Structure 1
Amino acid sequence: MARYTEGGPYTVGSQKLHDNGSFSSTTLRSELLSKTASSIQMPITVHGGSGRMLKKPAGSIVSLVFEMFLCLVALCFVALGLVALCIRNRPTGDDLGSAMEQAMKLGPTLYPILFAALLSRSLKSMGRYYAQRSVRMSTLWALMNTNATADPILHLASMPASILVWGLLVLWVMSPLGGQSTIRLMYKTNITDITHTELRYWDSGPLGNMFFNVGIMEGNDGSWPLSMRDIYSASLMQSVGTKAGPRDQWGNVKIPRIEAGNTSEIDSAGWMPVNKSLGAEGFTSLFGMPIVGLQEMKGQGDLNFTIEMTYVVLSTPTTYHRDKNGTDGKGMTVECVDCFEGYQAAHFIRSQRFAGLPSDGYYDVADSSTPNYTEPRTLRFNSTVFDTSVTTCQVSQRMVEALIECVDGDCMATKIRPSTTDHRDKNYTSFDYWAWVVLDMLTGVGHQDYEREVIWGVGTSVLFLNNSRSFPMQTGISGTQDDVNISRIDPELFSTRASILLNTGIQAFMAPTGFSGELPTNLSLYGVPHIPGRGLQAVANETAWNTFQNTVYSPPPALLQTIDDLAPFVGASTNATFVRYTEVYRPDYPWGVILIISSVLLFAVGVAGTCVRLKTIAPNMFDPVVGLTYGNPYISLTGRDDDPIDADDRANVLRDKVVQVGQVNDYKGVKAVFGEAGYVTPLRLGVPYH
């Protein structure tokens, strides 16, 4: 038999038990048994001196305001879904898109919390409202005990045919669906816009050569700036990987040699694919092709276009040795053997033919078909180190077209073919016109006199000729002096590498400010649109053309108008296919609709819960823990008649009491009760409870 402390909330037998006033347990039981159905339905008279008046709406105003706030948040998710459905093809990166992205990141966390808080509170508000009007116990139990998605699933085990439980299950399923939809409202994609735009690039044909000769050579009485030499040297000082790659260090696309094309895969249009790993010998020059506006456009989409270029090539060399002359100095000199033979007439005729202009009839030449007028010129490379070697090559030109493709910001020449528009004789080159100054520059870079023996070794040009796969620098560490004898270089490699050096020098003169980027985008500075092979025809009229009014000595007036300090070169034109990819937002319609439906249902239930709360006077007696204290003779409250009924107020009064589920012994035997820990004893195994 359990023993109880005197003065507790109850006593055995006929002692009074306290709960909302003092009464005896026998009296309470007799009163309950004596009530009839009619007496229960009789109106109850409220006496002014006892209890508390109910208010409308019941409960805390703070809780009511909080539920209203949750309803507004649910409405925000509806708006979020609607905005997502209306944001189709909107470019990314703007303020609205950025805000939507942030909302999508927070949505999976906030939405389930909002859903659980608002739906569970609204269902409980509905339960209290229906409880004060009378409701089936199964309905009230389902409303009050559904706090998560798993609850209606468990309720189906006991009430499988309940429409209410199935409806609650549908509602709660919307919580994970809505949370997942917030991160799938929209996605990013690219829309394609194909346009054709004009590009300008350095004209290496007749008009470009005439532009340089008139604007720089004649304008400076045959002299040239010292910085041309430095530009040439800078090309040699690029990294080994850059010199072997498809672009120079300034991002300009390098043009492959026609010999680099794969002839086994030539197509019907004559295009040959280019191997991506060519090495330095696979390109015409150490410089790439300056193209106006390419740097800006390639960052906005993909391009493909063709350009035409003229470059010089050297024949297989012939090498011999001669005695060293003490006045020769040391290093390498380059000269044209026969450029000045029959100078006046030959220069005019060969220059005219190089430019594609008429040549016969201007000079009274006995036979302009002699080898001096028709055969390629000969270049001579003199190398003096310990002995002197002389290497001679014939120089000619190639006119090619290159297909350039820019994909994801990377541009390279992918195909090559002989020019289909430029059919000039390959035996006439810019060395017949003005390019002898390039030979002077190469000599100045790679040769020094014997004034003092404090400098040894060879220049960067010779080091490149010897090995294009190493950095052209001799350090002199440990006093090692490795001199280079170009007569020992493989002849094929020598002609290829020497051709590259010549083309690099020509480009350094013809477009000295064109390689570093930031070219003027005003296309009118580059002259009239034209292709390189027909540049002079584009600026000269036919009559002046045929009557020698326009010659290499007398350029067309339109060319003179192009010469300007702001123009880095004469620009040939090409039409590029520009595929612009604009990143935009696209809504995911199914997920957007799911979020809207889920949020609308949540908002509707939240508003319904708020409305019934405004009509509810029944106190909150449905708390699962505080509910155990109502009418419980084993827990004492204040002992006054106005002990609180509402769960929140009641929990505040009882917050310091220590309670437990234990046992007591009454006149029927031992039973399990919920009471204060000081007045019940712990449960035990083997004891039958009732």
Structure 2
Amino acid sequence: MAYRHIGDPNVRPLQPAHLENIELETRYDPGAYNHVPPPGHPPSGYSPSRGVDNDSKNDDDRKPFFHSASKSSQPHGSSWPVQSQRVAGVTPLRAGLMVFDAILASTPIMFVALALTAARLDGEEVSDYGSRLAETLLLSPTIFPLIFAALMGRFFRHLGVYLAERGTTLGRLEQLVGCQSVFTALERQITLRYWSVVGLCSVLVWLLSPVGGQSALRLLGQENNNVSSITTVRYLDPQSSTRSSLEGPSSSNSARASYTSIFLAALLSSSKYQDTPMDLWGNVKLPLYRDIENSTTDEWKTVSGLHGDHATYSSLIGVPVVGLPSRGLSDFNIKARQFDVFCSSNKMMSASPKARNSSLWANVTATWGLEPDQSKTEPGSRPNYPLPFLSMSMVADTANYTNFSVASCDLTYSYLEAKVNCNGTSCGVKSMRKLDLFRDGYVKDADDFTRRNIFLNLMVTLPRVDNPTVGSPSARGSANAEKWMANPIDFIGARYSNVELYKLDPDLFARRLTILWNSFHQSTFATTALGGTLPKNLTETGVILASVGANITFNATQASVVQQTSAVYKTNWKWFIALMFCSLVLLAAAYAGLVLKYITLAPDIIGYASSLTMLNPYVPTPTGGTTLHGLERAALLHDLPVRIGDVCPNEPVGAIAFAKADDSRVARLNRRRWYI
């Protein structure tokens, strides 16, 4: 066999000039291996399975029709097909492979079934069946790419062999057979330097593999169905504050047992409930508005820490609300009025007996007193907001008790609207805004009455609420309200000493006095509505509750209620479509590859190392075997030593070929040597 330089004589050869006309002769004897079948047709009565006609009586007829010319080259202990065969013949082995291929090609059906099952669970309650399905879907990112690679790779390979049998270009054949992953598909496009529609489509098809795996993982979720509705909720009418038992000395004295017990119950439980959004009876508490007044320029001010976290509440007693749904989330608005106290100073002062005789302390019947500050009010004028007043509290361990904590403060009155958010019957204020004080029936005459009567009576009653008319209050120590202002966490119990309120910062003193003032005021009106036992069937706005006391009215407000049902499955329809598309594409490719494999007569020899031995003069093999597939040929020749080397080692220029490596006729390659 000779190898000569071929090309345009004007083109400079790639090898040295002294080697250009060298003829290379192979060291193999081309006649030693006969790969050509004998001429003519198979004899009559020839059976591919037996190789001879049973009826033939001549010994020559009993010899194989097509046999190897060199028996020594036949693989030892193998079943090399030395006799001629028909291609794609149906044998038991081939039939078994067809069944296996059909089962393998049908595996994408399970992803279609998973998608349809998940779609059927949409809206169904969470169950053990759905949990098992969800666990199965967790395996999809691993299983789907594996099956996709197996089936799609087979499809491209069988399509390439099918086209090769009918005739195609080498470039297209290389693109199809080498397209076994998204990387190899891109690699073929780049290395072949040929961008085609087939190559681009193969890349896009391989991108479906991760999409299919991830879509199955994200296919099924859980959610709670929400049922929205509107209901009527009723809250205590803010006008009820004008009907306080502090409207006069007589009513104040007759209702003392009622408001004293309510106020002290709230006060003594404050260590647990003072920072909660609801009081100990389940009434809704309003945060201190001045804490959020300057938080934003919006009309509605958001309360920091919904449901009580980091919020300071203006009172230990909340606003009674009735008609709350026992389940679900609800939002509604309520209105209420609240006091706020601001103090400019808080210090210890000494008062002589003469000074005390002309002041609130003329008849010492309590350790603490509140009185209007006449020095800030013009004679004959009607005091308006802010109302100036003084707080005076006895200081412990002083001779004749002549030292006092004196705070100079101002009192304001506000009308507020609050947005309340509830989870079942657990509620909290989420935002507030300030309204005009004189609206919703509250007129100036009512405000004059409040300032002249209720405020003044509150100043007289609050300091003595738990220490009325005793011979020597100083001997008993500070009242519970004073001790609470000094330390709201640790104040309960008999302590025969006076607290030192002058040590408190004026702002802190004002905050605690605000809470006490509002709490005591709220304990003096609508007292029978504070216990949380209101009837649930209020049907009219402003209804008078005869069962809980006269003149107690409730205002209606509309509440938006969202009730959550038990958890249900939710199918993500976008991922459902993605999974169905990827699965159906894979299923179509799998069945198409199955059909192409068994309608193609040509054996699958493309891309196998054993295919390099087919009709290769440098690899001696028995005659025949041209119908073998690549893996079948590899199984029969698995012990054959081979090498890619120089088949012309003794020539000036070598030749590289795939050859048998069991002797010295094939040399190893050398970087310094020239090859054709």
TM interval, short-chain normalised: 0.5 to 0.7
What is aligned with 2:336? 308
Q: Give the corresponding residue for 2:232.
A: 198
Cα separation, 1, equivalents of 2:181 and 2:667 = 35
Amino acid of the residue matched to residue 416 of structure 2?
E
SS of the residue corresponding to residue 411 of structure 1 reads strand
Report what 2:644 is aligned to. Answer: 661
3-state DSSP of counterpart to 2:546: helix
Deviation at 1:573, TM superposition (A): 3.6
In the alignment, which of 551, 554, 569 is matched to residue 572 of structure 1? Answer: 554
Closer, same or farther in 2 for the Cα pair 1:393/1:421, shift >3 Å? farther
TM-superposition CA deviations, 1:388-430 (whole Å, max 9, x none): 5598999999573323255999733421222522423314777
Q: Distance in 1 between matches of 2:28 and 2:221?
A: 75
Amino acid at match of 1:683: L
Q: Could you tell me which amino acid in structure 2 is paired with residue 674 of structure 1?
A: F
Partner of residue 605, structure 1: 589
Moved more, 193-202 or 599-608: 193-202
Taking a change above 3 Å as real, the CA distance of residues 586 and 438 of structure 1, as seen in their structure-2 partners, is: farther
**Structure 1 residue 559 corresponds to structure 2 residue 559:** no
Distance in 2, matches of 1:265 and 1:195, equals 31
1:231 counterpart (266, 273, 290): 266
- The answer to which structure, 1 or 2, has the higher relative contact order (CA under 8 A, 6+ apart) is 1
Contact 2:417 2:434 in 1 (8 A): yes
Q: Is the 8 A contact 2:153 2:180 kept in 1?
A: yes
Q: Tell me if structure 2 keeps the 8 A contact 1:397–1:428.
A: no
Change (3 A) 1:597 1:513: farther
State how far apart, in whole Å, the 1-side matches of 2:597 and 2:143 are: 25
2:158 alignment partner, one of 122, 125, 130: 125
Q: What is the one-letter code of the residue matched to 2:546?
A: L
> What corresponds to 2:68 in structure 1?
none
**Whole-Å separation in 1 of the counterparts to 2:514 and 2:224:** 44
Structure 1 residues 283-332: Cα deviation after superposition (integer angstroms, max 9, x where no partner): 541444454577978x747x35132346698999999957699xx99984
**Normalized against structure 1, the TM-score is what?**
0.57
Equivalent position amino acid for 2:334 in 1? T
Give the direction of change, closer, same or farther, for the CA distance of 1:410–1:162 in structure 2 (3 Å limit).
Answer: same
- Letter in structure 2 aligned against 1:411: V
Retained in 1: the 8 A contact 2:646–2:668? yes
- Given that 1:401 and 1:419 are in contact with CA atoms closer than 8 Å, whether structure 2 keeps it comes out as no
Judge conservation of contact 1:127–1:144 (CA < 8 Å) in 2.
yes
C-alpha RMSD of the superposition? 6.7
2:75 alignment partner in structure 1: none
- For 1:285, the equivalent position in structure 2 comes to 315
- Counterpart selection for 1:682 from 664, 668, 672: 668
Query: Using the alignment, how far apart are the partners of 2:96 and 2:591 within structure 1?
Result: 17
Aligned residues of 2:302 and 2:430 also touching (Cα < 8 A): no
* Structure 1 SS opposite 2:149: helix
Helix, strand or coil for the counterpart of 2:554?
strand
SS at match of 2:107: helix
Matched, 1:421 2:440: yes
Q: Hey, what's the Cα distance between the residues in 2 that align with 1:570 and 1:106?
A: 64
> Is the partner of 2:628 in helix, strand or coil?
coil
- 2:104 maps to what in 1? 67
Q: Which runs of 5+ in 2 are unaligned?
A: 1-25, 52-63, 65-80, 247-251, 358-362, 373-381
In structure 2, do the counterparts of structure 1 residues 60 and 671 end up closer, same or farther at CA, with 3 Å as the change threshold? Answer: farther
Of 90, 96, 115 in structure 2, the residue corresponding to residue 55 of structure 1 is 90
Cα displacement string for residues 27-46 of structure 1 (whole angstroms, at most 9, x for unaligned residues): 546x64x988x989x99973
Deviates more, 1:639-648 or 1:610-619: 639-648
**8 A contact 1:190–1:581 mirrored in 2:** no
Instruction: Indicate if the aligned counterparts of 1:397 and 1:429 stay in contact, CA closer than 8 A.
Output: no
After superposition, the C-alpha distances for 1:544-566 in whole angstroms (9 at most, x for unaligned) are xxxxxxxxxxxxxx512x47xxx
Distance 1:62 1:391, change over 3 A: same
Q: What is the match of residue 286 of structure 2?
A: 255
**SS of the counterpart of 2:108?**
helix
Distance 1:620 1:686, change over 3 A: same
Following TM superposition, by how much is the alpha carbon of 1:511 offset from its aligned partner in structure 2, in angstroms?
9.0
User: Equivalent residue for 1:500?
Assistant: 515
The alpha carbon displacement at 1:602 in A equals: 2.7
Alpha-carbon distance in structure 2 between the residues aligned to 1:276 and 1:677: 84
Q: When the two structures are aligned, how many residues end up with a matched partner?
A: 559
Q: Using the alignment, how far apart are the partners of 1:266 and 1:443 within structure 2?
A: 45
C-alpha offsets along residues 187-220 of structure 1, whole Å, 9 cap, x if unaligned? 99999998643223456654997999xxxx9999
**Shift in Å, 1:674:** 3.2
How far did 1:235 drift?
1.7
Tell me, in whole angstroms, the C-alpha distance in 1 between the residues paired with 2:104 and 2:160. Answer: 16
Instruction: Calculate the TM-score normalised by the size of structure 2.
Output: 0.58
Mapped partners of 1:381, 1:503: distance in 2: 19
The residue type equivalent to 2:50 in the other structure is G
Q: Percent identity?
A: 19
Once the two structures are superposed, residues 360-412 of structure 1 have per-residue CA deviations (whole angstroms, 9 ceiling, x without a partner) of xxxxxxxxxxx9xxxx9x99976363315598999999573323255999733
SS at 2:269's partner residue?
A: helix
CA spacing shift, 1:667–1:495, aligned 2, 3 Å: closer
